[in-house]
């Protein structure tokens, strides 16, 4: 099924000069008749955003409100299919060297100014020059604006990830007349008083407390948005989050990961729990190895450790059955996932044999060598700390003495890992839609950068992998590209610079009276313009 859909997507994006398909938005019929009004209170557990300009800042805290405030050229459904948003039609040139966007007529920013191709050009170049994900628009040479309703993105090389990079969390269209005010874009005062063209406009931000957004009456899609207001309540205490949802103080909790809380909340009749809406993010929990350290530079040792980890125990017992096992660098929900890799079955005998083969014989007390394991100290303890602690008794079974090194906070951990001062670390990294955006960075030799977190901190070097990834980044033919990534996955899984443990069990908890929940690939980071209350509530 996935194959068929992605082939269809491939046809859509590569057929030359083909206008955007007039596929109805899946919820459209239901949405038209849906009642309007009401306030949605979102429990925002990701903390206080620095600001709302998602053109220069990634992350969930900024992304959730930004996707409501700013519109993007395209939006995606839950099957990775692009749909018109600010661009009512688009054409990819046959040689893949340019993308033409035809903007929807009559769309305005929240200050009433019309949206023109100049705004699109300004935004794309701003993102290219400032967003942390350099690979998104690195191939963009220039953006031409032949008329106010047409923007032509010109590339230096074919860029198959370009369409997904047009989606709400990655490509907010900023009003040039507001943001191009002489201030540096990263510290621009407009970032904290944002004006966009999305379904909701910014009203108020109290850091550590709440963000208030209000319906934009002149939103360019007729009849939307349904809600009058969205309030993001910034909550950090886990018990307050749970009780708040149970009592109806908050109505929607995206990015919930605490499996214990989810189990409890799922029992409440007024609440629903869904794992839909996270395909685009592709979050993986993994154990990364430092290949500069002995004996982890030996592939057999890394394989032995991977074999010694019982992922079934982790997903079923530690994560209470909410999580899915990870098998490699690309998540199974991605169109580029390949299952054709040699899996690391839980096998202590094989692990012991590999360690013996590597010449690491156990001493009289059964110990072969010692390692430390760090873990990412953000989020709950369930995915990172508990798994790191599980590794200690587990790896002892194959003669590896593991010391868990905790870090009091994120900066301490990031300092250690980014400066390669670690043996192994538990970490959580997102695929971010296309592998070009979120996967390449971890494995490319050219992205070994000391001091930069979430670069290739493993110091993994494989010229064959570099070549495959470089080629996949410019291959337009979807089937060829898939083949390249399948080859990449096979090699990198065999090299095991990382032991991929599980897919992060992100779930959304919601009030059952809500209709049209954001279940697209970008979930709560997509516009919630069709979300509505089925019945009025207090």
Partner 1 sequence: MRLANAILQRLCNAILLIAAVIVFNFALIHLAPGDPAQVIAGEMGGANAKILAEIRHAYGLDKPFLEQLWIYVSHVLRGDLGQSYYFNAPVAQLVAQRALATVLLVFSGLIAAIIFGTLLGVFSARRPRGALSHGVTILSLVGYSAPVFWTGILLILLFAAAVPIFPVEGMMDPARTGGGWIGRAIDIAHHLVLPATSLGIVYLAQYSRLARASMLDVLGADYIRAARAKGLSENVVVYKHALRNAILPVVTVAGLDLGRVFAGAVLVETVFDWPGMGRLAYGSILRRDSPTLLGILLFSAVIVIIGNLLTDLAYRLIDPRIRTSA
Cα–Cα distances (Å) from 52 to 164, 189, 410, 492, in that order, read 21, 11, 22, 36
In sequence order, the β-bridge partners of residue 3 are: none
- How near is the Cβ of 284 to partner 1 at its closest, in Å? 14
Scanning residues 246 to 265, which ones bind partner 1 (CB under 8 A)? 246-247, 249-250
CA Rg value for the chain: 24
Closest approach, Cβ 70 to partner 1, in A, equals 17
Distance between CA atoms of residues 360 and 351, nearest Å:
12
The closest of 75, 107, 66 to 202, measured between CA atoms, is: 66
- Please, which of residues 25-84 interact with partner 1 by CB under 8 A? 39, 41, 47-48, 50-51, 57-59, 61-62
List the one residue from 157, 181, 236, 274 that touches partner 1 (CB under 8 A). 236
Scored b (16 or more CB within 10 A) or e, 371-402 reads bbbbbbbebbebbbbbbbbbbeebbeebbbeb
d(CA 465, CA 162): 22
- Among the listed residues 451, 447, 452, the one whose alpha carbon sits nearest the alpha carbon of residue 470: 447
The residue with tokens 């394989």 is 303
Which stretch in 80-88, 152-160, 234-242, 508-516 sits in contact with partner 1 by CB under 8 A?
A: 234-242
**Residue 433: CB minimum distance to partner 1, A:** 12
CA 35 to CA 454: how far, in whole Å?
Answer: 44
Which of the stretches 116-124, 406-414, 462-470, 513-521 binds partner 1 when contact is defined by CB under 8 A?
A: 406-414
Q: Considering only residues 22, 24, 217, 409, which one is a binding residue for partner 1 as defined by CB under 8 A?
A: 409
CB of 253: closest distance to partner 1 in angstroms?
12
229 touching partner 1, by CB under 8 A: yes
User: Which residue, chain included where needed, has tokens 């390249």?
Assistant: 484
**Dihedrals phi, psi of 77, to nearest 5 degrees:** -95, -165
| Binding residue for partner 1, selected from 106, 239, 349, 364, defined by CB under 8 A | 239
Contacts with partner 1, 180-209, as mask; x by CB under 8 A: ----x-xx---xx-------------xxxx
Asked whether the beta carbons of 154 and 141 are under 8 A apart, the reply is: yes
DSSP 208-222: TTEEEEEE-TT-SST
Name which of 360 and 525 has its Cβ closer to partner 1.
525
Of 49 and 96, the one with the shorter C-beta distance to partner 1 is 49
**Omega of the bond leading into 172 within 30 degrees of 0 (cis):** no
Residues 423-482 that bind partner 1 (CB under 8 A): 430, 432, 441, 449, 451-455
- For residues 209 and 342, which CB has a smaller minimum distance to partner 1 in the complex? 209
Site string for partner 1, 120-139 (x = CB under 8 A): ------------xxx-----
> CA 408 to CA 405: how far, in whole Å?
10
Size of the residue set binding partner 1 (CB under 8 A): 58
Q: What is the closest distance, in whole angstroms, from the C-beta atom of residue 98 to partner 1 in the complex?
A: 26
For partner 1, the binding residues (CB under 8 A) are 39, 41, 47-48, 50-51, 57-59, 61-62, 132-134, 184, 186-187, 191-192, 206-210, 212, 229, 231, 233-237, 239-240, 243-244, 246-247, 249-250, 409-416, 418, 430, 432, 441, 449, 451-455
């Amino acid at each position: 099924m996935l194959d068929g859909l992605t082939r269809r997507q491939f046809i859509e994006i590569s057929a030359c000069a083909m206008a955007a398909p007039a596929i109805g938005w899946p919820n459209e019929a239901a949405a038209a008749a849906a009642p309007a009004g009401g306030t949605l209170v979102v429990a925002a557990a990701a903390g206080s955003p620095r600001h709302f300009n998602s053109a220069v800042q990634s992350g969930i805290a900024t992304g959730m409100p930004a996707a409501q405030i700013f519109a993007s050229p395209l939006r995606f459904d839950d099957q990775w299919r692009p749909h018109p948003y600010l661009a009512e039609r688009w054409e990819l040139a046959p040689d893949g060297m340019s993308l033409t966007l035809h903007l929807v007529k009559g769309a305005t920013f929240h200050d009433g100014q019309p949206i023109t191709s100049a705004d699109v050009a300004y935004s794309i170049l701003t993102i290219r020059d400032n967003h942390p994900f350099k690979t998104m628009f690195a191939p963009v040479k220039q953006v031409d604006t032949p008329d106010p309703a047409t923007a032509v993105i010109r590339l230096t090389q074919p860029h198959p990830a370009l369409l997904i990079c047009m989606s709400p969390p990655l490509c907010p269209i900023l009003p040039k007349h507001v943001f191009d005010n002489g201030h540096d874009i990263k510290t621009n005062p407009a970032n904290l008083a944002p004006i966009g063209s999305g379904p909701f406009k910014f009203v108020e931000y109290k850091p550590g407390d709440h963000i208030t957004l209000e319906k934009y009456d002149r939103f360019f899609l007729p009849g939307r948005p349904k809600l009058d207001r969205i309030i993001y309540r910034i909550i950090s205490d886990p018990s307050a989050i749970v009780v708040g949802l149970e009592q109806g103080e908050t109505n929607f909790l995206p990015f919930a990961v605490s499996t214990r809380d989810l189990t409890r909340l799922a029992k409440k009749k007024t609440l629903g729990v869904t794992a839909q809406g996270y395909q685009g993010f592709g979050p993986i929990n993994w154990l990364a190895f430092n290949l500069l350290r002995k004996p982890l530079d030996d592939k057999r040792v890394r394989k032995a450790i991977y074999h010694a980890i019982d992922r079934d125990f982790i997903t079923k017992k530690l994560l209470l059955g909410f999580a899915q096992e990870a098998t490699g660098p690309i998540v199974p929900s991605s169109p580029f996932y390949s299952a054709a890799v040699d899996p690391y079955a839980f096998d202590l005998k094989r692990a012991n044999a590999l360690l013996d083969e590597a010449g690491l014989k156990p001493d009289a007390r059964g110990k072969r060598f010692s390692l430390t394991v760090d873990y990412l100290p953000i989020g709950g303890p369930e995915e990172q700390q508990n798994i790191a602690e599980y590794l200690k008794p587990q790896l002892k079974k194959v003669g590896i003495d593991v010391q868990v090194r905790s870090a009091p906070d994120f900066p301490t951990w990031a300092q250690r890992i980014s400066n390669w001062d670690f043996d192994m670390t538990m970490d959580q990294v997102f695929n971010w839609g296309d592998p070009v955006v979120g996967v390449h960075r971890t494995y490319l030799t050219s992205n070994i950068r000391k001091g930069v977190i979430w670069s290739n901190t493993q110091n993994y070097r494989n010229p064959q992998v570099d070549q495959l990834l470089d080629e996949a980044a410019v291959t337009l033919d979807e089937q060829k590209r898939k083949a390249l990534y399948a080859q990449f996955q096979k090699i990198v899984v065999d090299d095991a610079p990382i032991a991929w443990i599980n897919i992060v069990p992100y779930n959304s908890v919601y009030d059952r009276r809500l209709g049209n929940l954001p279940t697209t690939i970008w979930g709560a980071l997509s516009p919630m313009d069709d979300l509505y209350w089925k019945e009025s509530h207090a």
